[in-house]
Amino acid sequence: MAKRIKAVMPGFVKPQLATLKRKAPADEGWIHEIKYDGYRAQIHVDRGAAKIFTRNGHDWTKRFSAIAGAFRLKSQTIFDGEVVVVHEGRTNFSELQADLAKGRQDRMLFYAFDILFHNGEDLRRKPQLKRKEILKELIDMLDPPVLYSDHLEGDGHELFEAAARLNYEGIVSKRVDAPYRSDRNEGWLKIKTVQKGKFPVVGFIKDPSGVAALYLGKKEGKNLVYMGKVGTGWDRTTSGKMRRALDTVISPKSKLSKQLKKPKATWVEPVFTVEIEYRDITSEGLLRASALKGFSRS
């Protein structure tokens, strides 16, 4: 039997990216994982020393030094995964950003969900499920902050519904027989959950024919607090209709309980309400990745 020629460990590998879909696949041949709300990271372990790269190939080893130090494997291995911070029971990108800004690493975790290379063997051509088997064996040898990203097989709808109930970002579905490919393709699918809410309009930014953005608030007891702004989700016709409606309720100053400096704002009486889809609420209490779904008088 011919001896297998060992491959040389590559440098940074352009990551595989998932294609956005509305529904999780229900047929066999898929595994499904929770979608983490963090920073994509590729970890290169070379006989006990680890380097961590962002999805664009930047070396962030120093910024994630605590995670790098946890990879004490004496192998040559490349892991793919996500650096996260868990806040109130789920991964939270805003909290991770805040920790990075402070230089804080004690809450950071690395969820490994793929393996690309190990001890002279390029694993990218192996089926997804086989790669995960190899990955689990290695991650089981390590301790937190390094964790294995578990999965379910079969119909992904059940996991998606659970993710939605828990306000997770969504799920990623992966073909069990697919190789690892460095591009965006349908071997990986992402299905995102969204949160919905209704918020009073407290102000707006004008554009020549309508509205460029809406400032939003939220009632908290007797207070009206600022929730950020929304600038997407409408066409020119809707923009014009909102502008005409808001022009009838302009206020000389903000009705928010705590005044804000917004030089471009035109403040209004909070008599109009918008329905918003959003991804999350940041650590500053602002809506993240919001989009307009409806506009009406309260």
Residue 124: give its domain's CATH number.
3.30.470.30
pLDDT of 169: 87
Query: Do both 128 and 273 map to the same domain?
Result: no
- Residue 266's domain comprises 195-297
Establish if 276 belongs to a structural domain: yes
Buried b (16+ CB within 10 A) or exposed e, 61-76: bebbeebbebbebeeb
Provide the pLDDT for residue 234: 94
Place of tokens 């994630």: 64
Q: Of 138, 170, 192, which residue constitutes the final position of a domain? A: 192
Name the amino acid, one letter, at 213. Answer: A
Res 209: pLDDT: 87
Domain total of the chain? 2
Residue 68 belongs to some domain of the structure: yes
Distance CA 243, CA 234 (A): 12
Cβ–Cβ contacts within 10 Å for residue 100, how many?
17
28 and 102 co-located in one domain: yes
pLDDT computed for residue 196 by the predictor: 86
Residue 150 included in any domain: yes
What does each of the 298 residues of the chain score in pLDDT, given as a tens digit? 556 678 999 999 999 999 999 899 988 999 999 999 999 999 999 998 999 999 999 999 999 999 999 999 999 999 999 999 998 888 988 889 889 999 999 999 999 999 999 999 999 999 999 999 999 999 999 999 999 999 999 889 999 999 988 888 899 999 999 999 999 999 999 998 888 899 999 999 999 989 999 999 999 999 999 999 999 999 999 999 999 999 999 999 999 999 999 999 999 999 999 999 898 888 788 998 899 999 999 8
242 and 134 part of one domain: no
The answer on 199 and 164 residing in a single domain is no
Same domain assignment for residues 106 and 118: yes
For residue 111, what are its two tokens?
């969820």
188 with 262, same domain: the answer is no
Q: Cα torsion for 98, 102, 104, 109, to the nearest 10°?
A: 30
Based on the fold, state whether residues 261 and 276 are members of the same structural domain: yes
Residues 42 and 12: their CA atoms lie apart, in Å, by 8
> Does 214 fall in a domain?
yes
Give the per-residue pLDDT at 222.
93
pTM here? 0.76
Domain end call among 135, 167, 192: 192
pLDDT at site 3 = 62
State whether 78 and 125 are in the same domain. yes
* Cα–Cα dist 117/229, whole Å: 44
Whether 9 is covered by a domain: the verdict is no
